[in-house]
Every structure is written in structure tokens, then in C-alpha cells.
Amino acid sequence: MQRSFLMVSMFVLSLTMFHSTSIAGPLGGFGSSAMGGRGMGGDGPGSGGMKAYDKNSVLQVEGRVSGSEMSYNRHMGENGLHVTLESSKGSFIIHVCPQWYAEQQKISFKNGETITVVGSEFEKHGEQNIYAATIRRQDASLPSNLKTLLLRNPDSGAHLWSGRYRSQKQEEMRQKMQNNRAERPSPKGFANAKKGVPSENAAASVGGAKKQLPPQAQEQIRRKLENPNLPPMVRKMLEKRLAGE
């Protein structure tokens, strides 16, 4: 009886731990969630010391970029774009987005450019960090779509690139399937190839070629055409034969 009770207790405890792990923390930085989706993730408690996005810690800071890099987060399993920002409020490490999204959207930063960041502030290893929700840039040479970067929901911290990644992959798969269908021969084409029957394109090229009549046959048609009493329909037919149509 005691053994059965102990086994039931251990089973309930394991379910509780699994449930708490699956829902830990709201969306914050970039990386993989408990569901394993790329760029879907959450930097909740226990994700390598990364804190969750907290709307109560959202602030706005303006400064100059002193450096940017793609660094790997072993807990998240992918590279991410980080920017070092020097401001009147101090130095901040800005968490921008995953590397794949930065490359897709052509997002990069120059040292010395002025940016304004709105996002959730947190501290890690004695350094101030910000999960960027929006980044406004003052570089006039930038295209309009790169002057204001929308990266996360400012209230929930939900990544705005997650759905775009899925949509992009679905579109690539759809396009690939369409290309495969276009390149694949039809069943009729396979059957004709086995029988030695030319394809429609080959048949069209053969049919389009003019049939040259032997000189003797051409001469006979010309003699008939010299007859002024030749019915118009017959004359037209002979002229077509002579032309090789």
C-alpha cells in the first residue's frame, strides 16, 4: 500500500515539474521556447540566467552605438544580434533579434550612429541590458523600413518575427512544390516516351515544318493552276499544296 502511494506521489510530482517548465516565463529575448520553435522562445527564469521581458521595466534611452556583434547563446541554441549603446544613463547591451532575422531584414548598425531604444531593462552580471521593443534610427541614408525597427510587443515582449519566419518557410515550401510540379513530366508524357512518340513540343516543331513536294508534283500543280476555269476552292487547295502547307 505504501509502495503504491509512493509511486503515485512521484508521478504527480513529475507532472507538476513538467507543467511548470513548459510555461516558465513570458516571451523575452530571442531563442527557442519549450516547444522547440525557432525564434519563438522565452527567456524566462532558468534560461541561462536571462530574465523575462517585464513591461513594468520598460524605458526609453537614446545614445550612440559603440559596437555590435552576433553572439551565440548556448541556452537558446542560436546566434543573436547585440548592440552596445552609450548614453547619458550609462552603457547598455541591446538585445535586438536573432541572426537569421537580422540577415533576412538586412539589419546592421554602424559605430557612432544615434539610436533611440524602447524596451524592457534588466541586469545580468552587473551589466544593464535591454530587450528592444522598438529602435528608432537617425541615419538619413537608411531606407524607410530600417529607420524604425519593430521587434517586440512593448507590453508582452512577444517576438514580432516569429510569425514571419513561419510564413516565410511556408511560402518557400509552397514555391518549391509548385516548381517540382512544373518540372515533372505528365503521365501521358511518360507513356509517350516509352512508345517513342514525340512530345507535344516536338510534334509542334515537326508539324510546323513545311512539306516540300517533289519537283514533278510541283510541276503538275503549276500546270493545273494555269487552267482559267479551275474552281476557286480547288485552286486554293492546290496553291496550299504547292506552298507546302
Q: What is the pTM of this model?
A: 0.51
Could you tell me if 154 and 223 lie in one domain? no
Cα distance between residue 90 and residue 88, in whole Å: 5
Cα distance between residue 219 and residue 197, in whole Å: 35
Taking residues 91-113, report their average pLDDT: 94
Give the pLDDT confidence of 188-228 residue by residue, as tens digits: 555 555 555 555 555 444 445 566 778 888 888 888 888 87
Could you tell me if 146 and 235 lie in one domain? no
Residue 237: inside a domain, yes or no? yes
Residue 27: inside a domain, yes or no? no
The percent of residues in the chain predicted with pLDDT above 70, rounded, is 60
Position 35 pLDDT exceeds 50: no
| pLDDT confidence of residue 26 | 37
Residue 168: inside a domain, yes or no? no
| pLDDT confidence of residue 219 | 83
**The CATH number of the domain where 145 resides is what?**
2.40.50.140
Residue 107: inside a domain, yes or no? yes
**What total number of domains does the chain contain?**
2
Taking residues 93-100, report their average pLDDT: 93
b/e per residue 136-169 (b: at least 16 CB within 10 A): ebeeeeeeeeeeebebbebeebbbebbeebeeee
Taking residues 159-170, report their average pLDDT: 64
Among 129, 160, 191, residue at a domain's last position:
160
